[in-house]
Amino acid sequence: MRVLITGGAGFIGSHLADAYLQRGDKVCVIDDLSTGCIENIQHLKGKPNFEYTIDTVHNQPVTAELVDQADVVFHLAAAVGVKLIVESPVRTIETNVRGTEVVLSLANKKKKKVLVASTSEVYGLSSDIPFREDGNLVMGATTKGRWSYACSKAIDEFLALAYWREKKLPTVVVRLFNTVGPRQTGQYGMVIPTFVKQALAGRPITVYGDGKQSRCFGYVGDVVGALINLMDHKDAVGNVFNIGSNQEITILQLAERVKELTQSDSEIVFVPYDEAYEEGFEDMPRRIPDISKIHGLVGFEPKMNLDGILQTVIDFQSGRNLR
Ligand code: UDP
């Protein structure tokens, strides 16, 4: 099989490329290196089954050719990271909406199956925990930049599902919950690589708000397995799936755990949201997925626990595991 991964030099995309190559499939990556990074695919360069193109998916002639050559498409190229989104909302909206329009319209020409990556951010301010795929999405005000990410991704979801209903393009939508592992960078705001970096350097660990907000962190290897299984399953088409872990931890507990595992002397400091992001910033207090739908279809279960995940990030950042 020939697999096209948009955003394939990103954190999740590059792990997905590894997994398909390991299976013996051919992988082609397109990435504009805006948040992705060439080091993520350095080890794949020169492999006979691997090709990459450094360009944006908005470049239609280039993307058209890649889509034509592919059997299936993973559309992971997107603006991600809360920090980036708050700082560059125009880029977020344009990248996420236009990119998906281009990929779906090109895939539709020859009905190539597309998996579109969405996000748990779409649940927004919903308090209907755990979040189910058929639950309501509760958006915050449009004056708060953060919600532009959720809205742009919700449009991507609508579009992917509309292509299936109206044009019979086989599409699958996944809502990725906080995904973590080696190669993830804290540059765009992701908490675990940020905390690990701070702890290893002996710098203060910056907990935003009061640290009582919680998240569930899933391991990238588990997520990639789920993506492949969904792509392989015919009944996934036309559906939305949560993917992630349901082991909840508060951000303050997370900071303490990182400090312990790295045996760091770093102090834990609290940074008000207004200072960390922007004035009036709204966080999601809790974010827990209901994963019964994906479990029911492909038997998905998160295998790696939080300590295991943290250890892979610590090893990666300490140079003990460069993959
Ligand atoms: N966070 C934090 N300190 C940091 C970075 C993030 O306390 O240096 C918090 C952030 O406010 C959020 C949680 O950690 O409550 C997860 O943040 P992340 O950006 O990783 O993902 P999100 O779940 O917000 O998309």
Q: In order along the chain (323 residues), what is the average pLDDT of each group of 10 residues?
A: 98 98 98 95 97 98 98 96 86 94 98 98 96 96 91 97 98 98 90 97 97 98 98 98 97 98 98 92 94 98 97 94 65
| Predicted model pTM | 0.97
168 domain-assigned: yes
Distance 290 CA to ligand 1 centre (A): 21
Distance 237 CA to ligand 1 centre (A): 32
258 domain-assigned: no
Q: For residue 138, what are the domain limits?
A: 2-180+217-246+288-304
Distance 83 CA to ligand 1 centre (A): 9
315 domain-assigned: no
Give residue 85's pLDDT.
87
320 domain-assigned: no
312 domain-assigned: no
154 domain-assigned: yes
CATH code: domain of residue 121: 3.40.50.720
User: CA nearest 3: which of 94, 64, 50, 73?
Assistant: 73
Which residue owns the Cα nearest ligand 1 atom 16?
191
Catalytically annotated residues: 149
Give residue 225's pLDDT.
98
- H helix runs in 27-146, sequence order: 60-69, 82-87, 89-109
206 domain-assigned: no
Which residue owns the Cα nearest ligand 1 atom 21?
190
DSSP 106-137: HHHHTT-EEEEEEEGGGGBT---SSB-TTSPP
Distance (Å, whole) CA 289 – CA 18: 26
- Per the structure, the count of domains in the chain is 1
Closest atom, ligand 1, to C-alpha of 273:
11
252 domain-assigned: no
